[in-house]
Structure 1
């Protein structure tokens, strides 16, 4: 079993590799909810553009994206989830930008 830089064990379920046991367990829960039709349209690793790429003084600056762990629909609402053990400064900043730009989604931190 492999470990990442935060000491999490990589786990594989349904042929999908997850960065932590916590994320894999949440995936299993969401799959069960989808089978019971409590949620629909489960998506893994959805990407959200926070800042377009641009040029500054002739130098290309890359786009900034937030990649969540899961997205799904429940009761007509769209939920975006992130499973976190350790909240980095970069994550905290991207979360704030996401919440501002994508306020139509319900954001959950697990």
Structure 2
């Protein structure tokens, strides 16, 4: 171990970008490379892919292919609970869909993902298992 520590001391370190929340000069790099985007109609999104999908769905809405287009719709998967040894209750576990709309008379729940995270996979599974709702994945 001492040999490893000594060899690390002599090695040049690559410069790292450090961020401080709330500081205007801080550089923020998104974990999965997404870039916050605002569409021409002023709607803000967490990624360019999500913004592009919104614009596409808006066209589909205008030409009548879909109806009742909504975004950021929350579904409660597990209710809030309070543990005996805790001061406060733990919040409910929710899945928030990027888009929800009706297509050919069928409700569609859709999520735009570049990276399938373990959390998304679990929540998608719970949506189907607990609520019987399928989440359509788009990239």
TM more than 0.5:
yes
Q: 1:106 to 1:34 in 2, by over 3 A?
A: farther
Give RMSD over aligned pairs.
1.5
Flag the structure with more relative contact order, 1 or 2, with Cα contacts below 8 A and sequence separation at least 6.
1
Query: Larger Cα Rg: Structure 1 or Structure 2?
Result: 2
| 1:50 positional shift | 0.2
The answer to whether residue 32 in structure 2 is matched with residue 11 in structure 1 is no
Between structures 1 and 2, the one with greater strand share = 1
Unaligned runs of 5+ in 1: none
Aligned: 1:57 with 2:57? no
Summarize the Cα distance change of 1:82–1:107 in structure 2 as closer, same or farther, 3 Å threshold.
same
Deviation >3 Å, runs of 4+: none
What does residue range 28-43 of structure 1 map to in structure 2 within 5 Å?
28-43=55-70
Paired residue for 2:17? none
Quote the Cα distance in structure 2 between the aligned partners of 1:7 and 1:108: 22
Q: TM-score, normalised by structure 2?
A: 0.72
TM-score normalized by the length of structure 1: 0.90
Alignment partner of 1:100: what SS?
helix
The number of residue pairs the alignment matches comes to 108
